[in-house]
Structure 1
């Protein structure tokens, strides 16, 4: 009986010693992905066949389509800025309505849409910048015109299901690029 008690006692002590050597398992704290992008540096887009110039982020890869329509690709962000040039042929009202309609089609998913008029009398550039907040397909777009010859509309789209919380750092970065593009826009004489 003594031996059984001694054996039981040795097993209990051994079990206690070996089980106390393990480290406590602690849950890991919740974390969010941190997305940092390089500071934007801009270069001038000036194609001789196009009636305009503007500044574009050096990280963007420009692909030129016919009639000076452009797409600026941001592969790291999985986003593209689409830039479309249209002629004005006594149809400025229709072009303005179409641009506004395109923006307000996002109102279903957007939390709000902030309009910022843009007027540059010196260079004859007039338009509107739209900041679209929420889970809409685009988070920013603008249109510009000289009101007699040309009309440009521009918007940014991501290649992902719109979830504003997830894409917000990239969306803010590209919104700033789009605003810089609009503010640096000039018609050629």
Structure 2
């Protein structure tokens, strides 16, 4: 009789196991998703700095002059707000030939060549305002997706490099990059040297 009870117990346990195992569906992994970002409308305000330049900057961003030895400089850290990034904006009174400064900027772009899928550049020439320069867009999983330099070709030079506070993932950053590119192009197009 004990064999009969053991057989019944095994049958009941086996039946419960089969019922429990058949009820679950196979888990299906979810597709990757990216954060949706709603960007503010593009509105701009001219900078009011005690520096030899001015430009229009998106009202969504704010800037802080970089301090050196307790003094304000004309270098800026431009905080990109909800885009979670920064533009390192440097102003230089040229003491060497212009070519040295341009070569330095080009070398900064070249550093990203290993990771970049493509590097596009656009020349800016405005002889009337004496603003000349190049805007670089680096595509792919690069640390710095945008860089540019501007000069009066005589004594003043600025360069800017964009960094995001996130791991470079071009596909997920693309909406932010497209939004930012419009603001950067506006900055470059409205850039002026003060007399």
1:103, 1:67 → 2: CA distance? 24
Residue 114 of structure 1, CA deviation: 0.3
1:74, 1:129 → 2: CA distance? 18
Specify which of 146, 149, 154 is matched with residue 143 of structure 1.
Answer: 149
Residue 61 of structure 1, CA deviation: 1.4
* Structure-to-structure mapping, 1:3-152, within 5 angstroms: 30=31, 31-47=33-49, 49-65=50-66, 66-152=72-158
Q: Which residue of 1 aligns with 2:10?
A: none
Q: TM-score, normalised by structure 1?
A: 0.81
Q: Which residue of 1 aligns with 2:168?
A: 162
* Structure-to-structure mapping, 1:150-189, within 5 angstroms: 150-189=156-195
Q: Unaligned regions of 5+ residues in structure 2, if any?
A: 1-24, 67-71
Deviations 1:80-115 (A, max 9, x none): 111100111232111010000001111111100001
Aligned length: 166
1:51, 1:175 → 2: CA distance? 24
CA contact (8 A) 2:78 2:87 kept: yes
Q: TM-score, normalised by structure 2?
A: 0.79
Q: Unaligned regions of 5+ residues in structure 1, if any?
A: 1-23
CA RMSD across the alignment: 2.0
CA contact (8 A) 2:34 2:172 kept: no
